[in-house]
Structure 1
């Protein structure tokens, strides 16, 4: 399990600075859009080997993932390289998994859309709750924001705007048990990390900043694929199921690897322990990212 050690006091200061930066951004202090990335919707999922005989990175990634083991329970992976436009999927990509705490990114996106619609920035209290929900995975803060966005009806409305599939709509029950697909999670990451989004540049920057400042005990998962000098931004989810005593373990986010910027979503369930789920996520993520970027 890979951790990037972060001083807790500095993390709290970072969260405070994120809130301050968000307020200034909405006032127009820095309205510059992020660096333009290729449009993932228009990018090819792969290309045949070129005339030099170079291996197709998509096929290389799929072949490498086929060889990863052991792999207990279910899993689904989706990776998109924003630098090249290549993408790869693997596992149970059309099946639904329990979200656990990765849904907190979706709740944040719904909250930001709601603020945009009202033409007002998040209040100080909303910012405090958002930072607690994403950086520390605080469930009380998530519940409070869940109520603010209009619960299930509000989330479904936001997800239609974000481009989620119908598989995510019309569910009931508590937010942590919402079922999702890995492809919908990749869609959510595109809305947070690219300009192809109903979220404004300021809203996207705010969400990315929170995901870049998660508590050090929560920075496992897709971050394992980032280069030593590369940055990452993520949100993880983990939940033991009372009926089976098996674990749901998920991780979604952005990693920088070998000069590439990649979006990664991995969902797992029926894991014997949380550690087993984390290991599966980190092995498959690292395998896919290294193969997709040519081992750079």
Structure 2
């Protein structure tokens, strides 16, 4: 073999090895996202489901943090689920559960809410009052709350220890079931209209999150949670029912590992924009993204920042 041929073969071998060891080009990495199972499905409108899945993936591809979501729209038979069985500290979104359990107890006793119950339920929802939430949590007790969760069919929601209601662990799927108690015409909750009314009257500075991108002629019934802790950074959650003459749908987004509250809010709002735009094509948005200078970086106060002995350990790893 001549010296020139040997050099040529050596050069070719080096080139092949270099190509095999080189990093995967960015375009190829992006193409692999096409293999991710769709987040959304619809038997009536598969094109809508495919488009929304693609848009949600695009939003999340540029965001940090750990996110779970669920969407349900009866009109189009659309459902979206992304890590919907992963558990998160509930923070203040558990106040919806406390409200529903209080309403259900009154229904079972065939009575209206007492003056004391109304005096606590209203500020708990409308201004996210923690003292009112504690009063109702104590009054209901774990047995009553657990029985209510069983009736709803929640699968992975676990009540927080002792008085730590903000450390109740929940999932996007379970939050979707809890919102269904308020939005379903066949719901067992007789006083669901009152619950929706309170969620529609949440004060202005707490109306960020899933209403972003909502079009005109819809009413938003929402509750949010925002809690920083020593592990997993900020928990930022937003759940809501959207009602109108043409359709009713639900959106749930739970997140943690956010570096700031504002960062978590923006992630949720970009997901919400995709959902509202997909379900309301041709209708302009009445609510945009919340300006960052209007987002507080103060905790909702629903749980302590540090660890709670015997409770925080199972959360590590944030496994689904």
Scaled by the length of structure 1, the TM-score of the pair is 0.76
Partner Cα separation in structure 2 for residue 288 and residue 236 of structure 1? 18
Q: Is the 8 A contact 2:183 2:248 kept in 1?
A: no
Q: Which runs of 5+ in 1 are unaligned?
A: 1-43, 50-54
Shift of 1:193: 0.9
Q: 1:282 aligned to 269, 281, 287, which one?
A: 269
Verify: 1:208 aligned to 2:200, yes or no: no
Verify: 1:220 aligned to 2:194, yes or no: no
Shift of 1:258: 10
Q: 1:168 aligned to 119, 143, 157, which one?
A: 157
Q: Which runs of 5+ in 2 are unaligned?
A: 1-39, 284-320
Verify: 1:87 aligned to 2:63, yes or no: no
User: Which residue pairs with 1:47 in the alignment?
Assistant: 43
Task: Tell me whether 125-134 or 229-238 shows the greater mean CA deviation.
Answer: 229-238
Q: Is the 8 A contact 2:160 2:167 kept in 1?
A: no
Equivalent positions of 1:130-279 (< 5 A) are 130-150=121-141, 152-165=142-155, 167-169=156-158, 172-173=161-162, 174-200=164-190, 203-241=191-229, 243-244=230-231, 246-256=233-243, 259-279=246-266
Verify: 1:120 aligned to 2:111, yes or no: yes
Q: Is the 8 A contact 2:97 2:178 kept in 1?
A: yes
User: Which residue pairs with 1:105 in the alignment?
Assistant: 96
User: Which residue pairs with 1:71 in the alignment?
Assistant: 63
Partner Cα separation in structure 1 for residue 59 and residue 244 of structure 2? 20
Shift of 1:234: 0.3
Secondary structure of the structure 1 residue equivalent to 2:188: coil
Partner Cα separation in structure 1 for residue 268 and residue 257 of structure 2? 13
Secondary structure of the structure 1 residue equivalent to 2:227: strand
Secondary structure of the structure 1 residue equivalent to 2:237: strand
Partner Cα separation in structure 2 for residue 239 and residue 48 of structure 1? 38
Partner Cα separation in structure 2 for residue 58 and residue 215 of structure 1? 33
Output one character per residue of 1:84-118: Cα deviation in whole Å (capped at 9) or x when no partner.
Answer: 2212122x222101110000000011111111111
Q: Is the 8 A contact 1:102 1:250 kept in 2?
A: yes
Q: Is the 8 A contact 2:158 2:168 kept in 1?
A: no
Secondary structure of the structure 2 residue equivalent to 1:289: helix
Call closer, same or farther: CA 1:109–1:244 in 2, change over 3 Å: same
Shift of 1:121: 1.1
Partner Cα separation in structure 1 for residue 244 and residue 81 of structure 2? 18
The number of equivalent residue pairs is 242
User: Which residue pairs with 2:306 in the alignment?
Assistant: none
Partner Cα separation in structure 2 for residue 125 and residue 170 of structure 1? 23
Q: Is the 8 A contact 1:73 1:270 kept in 2?
A: yes
Partner Cα separation in structure 1 for residue 127 and residue 50 of structure 2? 37
Q: If you compute each CA radius of gyration, which structure gives the higher value, 1 or 2?
A: 2
Output one character per residue of 1:25-67: Cα deviation in whole Å (capped at 9) or x when no partner.
Answer: xxxxxxxxxxxxxxxxxxx951276xxxxx6111111111111
Scaled by the length of structure 2, the TM-score of the pair is 0.71
Shift of 1:170: 6.4
